[in-house]
């Protein structure tokens, strides 16, 4: 089986669909699995209806139930979102509260509802949405906002890539010396270290402690520490397209955390989100440099990933040739196959 970006099975997953700062009191259209959604922050009864005050993040399928006009082209009126076509107004739960053409004379049909997702929440400066009741959990973000760390969010990147292929790439270390020869890759470290894999529902935790040439450590250039050092890696993955990597440097000290999410917009395109958390940097300038470096690494990945002709992700492990060091990628395929099967079982 091949898993495409808009496969219906993915409706039961948690997906990042926007950065929090992108959503305000003007509706925004986002795409997920080939379908548009309207996101907006509606004023709440506790706050004023204009200017500042409390708001509530809401999401609607981007079509009015009346004439299917895009709600993302609408306007916030009071505590409701008003459709731009005939002025129907919807509260944060999707119920239609006003139909101007009726003049208040007729009862509004209970079918006059804007469709809402099964799950919607924010964490770490990101908006998570699950179209249908989710299988599995959102990725936990314990370092988002953690004290002692500096935090950076890369600008969301839109590219013609496969979501599964991008997650496989994030979890894969064997490509570093080749795809990332100009950044993190080194021909001094071609061999992939041993990894321990612990399955956790439709997710997994992968750990490894190994020696590596730490070219980025300034202590090496000053002769304080040797080039060959130890680092501990901890990958955490949650289906379908959520992952994080924690790197602890044993000799040099410090922790570097990357949170990585892929939003499958449609069959051809994805939007990619990367959060960076580090406690080994001194100031915002160093953090900006670290963010630019992570962007360069991502650009190297995208340069190859965008050249794939078939962007679907193979779930049948016999469809490709695997070696011993592909254990993490093989487990990823098994987890996503189980994720798809869970949706099929719940639908039967």
Q: What is 32-96 written as a DSSP string?
A: ETTEEEEEEEEE-TTS-SSSSS-EEEEEEESS-TTT---GGG-EEETTEEEPTTT--EE-TTSBE
CA pair distance 65, 99, nearest whole angstrom? 12
Q: Please, is 10 exposed, middle or buried when counting C-beta atoms within 10 Å of its C-beta (0-12, 13-18, 19+)? A: buried
Sign for the CA dihedral angle at 218, 224, 230, 232 comes to: negative
pLDDT for residue 50: 47
Q: So what's the pLDDT on residue 193? A: 87
Domains, the chain, in order of start with CATH, read: 11-130 (2.102.10.10), 150-343 (3.90.380.10)
Pair 185, 177: CB distance under 8 Å: yes
Which of 271, 210, 198 shows the shortest CA–CA distance to 235? 198
Backbone angles phi, psi at 154, to 5 degrees: -65, 150
Helix (H) or strand (E) holding 293: helix 284-305
User: Whole-model pTM above 0.85?
Assistant: yes
Q: How confident is the prediction along the chain (348 residues), in pLDDT tens digits per residue?
A: 999 999 999 999 999 999 999 999 999 999 999 999 999 999 997 655 445 579 999 999 999 999 999 999 999 999 999 999 999 999 999 999 999 999 877 889 999 999 999 999 999 999 999 999 999 999 999 999 899 999 999 999 999 999 999 999 999 999 999 999 999 887 777 788 899 999 999 999 999 998 887 877 889 989 999 988 999 999 999 999 999 999 999 999 999 999 999 999 999 999 999 999 999 999 999 999 999 999 999 999 999 999 999 999 999 999 999 999 999 999 999 999 999 999 766 665
């Amino acid at each position: 089986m091949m898993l495409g970006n808009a496969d219906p099975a993915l409706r039961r997953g948690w997906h990042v669909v926007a950065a929090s700062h992108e959503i305000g009191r003007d509706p925004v259209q986002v795409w997920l699995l080939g379908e548009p959604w309207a996101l907006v922050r509606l004023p709440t009864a506790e706050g004023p209806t204009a200017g500042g005050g409390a708001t509530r993040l809401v999401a609607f399928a981007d079509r009015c139930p009346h004439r299917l006009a895009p709600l993302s082209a609408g306007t916030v009126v009071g505590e409701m979102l008003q459709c731009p076509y005939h002025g129907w107004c919807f509260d944060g739960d999707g119920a239609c509260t006003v139909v101007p053409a009726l003049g208040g004379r007729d009862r509004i049909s209970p079918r006059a509802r804007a469709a809402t997702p099964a799950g919607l929440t924010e964490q770490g400066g990101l908006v998570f949405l699950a179209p249908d009741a989710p299988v599995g959990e959102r990725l936990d973000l314990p370092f988002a906002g953690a004290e002692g760390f500096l935090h950076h969010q890369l600008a969301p990147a839109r590219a013609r890539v496969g979501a599964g292929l991008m997650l496989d790439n994030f979890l894969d270390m064997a490509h570093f010396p080749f795809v990332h020869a100009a950044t993190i890759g080194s021909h001094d470290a071609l061999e992939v270290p041993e990894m321990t894999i612990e399955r956790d529902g439709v997710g997994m935790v992968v750990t490894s402690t190994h020696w590596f040439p730490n070219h980025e450590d300034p202590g090496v250039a000053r002769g304080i520490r040797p080039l060959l050092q130890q680092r501990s890696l901890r990958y955490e993955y949650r289906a379908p397209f959520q992952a994080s990597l924690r790197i602890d440097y044993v000799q040099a000290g410090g922790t570097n955390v990357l949170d990585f999410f892929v939003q499958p917009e449609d069959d051809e395109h994805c939007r990619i989100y990367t959060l960076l958390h580090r406690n080994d940097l001194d100031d915002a300038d160093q953090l900006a440099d670290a963010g630019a470096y992570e962007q360069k690494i991502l650009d190297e990945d995208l340069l190859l990933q965008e050249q794939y002709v078939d962007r679907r992700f193979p779930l049948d492990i016999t469809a490709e040739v695997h070696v011993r060091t592909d254990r993490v990628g093989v487990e990823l395929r098994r987890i996503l196959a189980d994720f798809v099967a869970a949706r099929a079982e719940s639908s039967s």
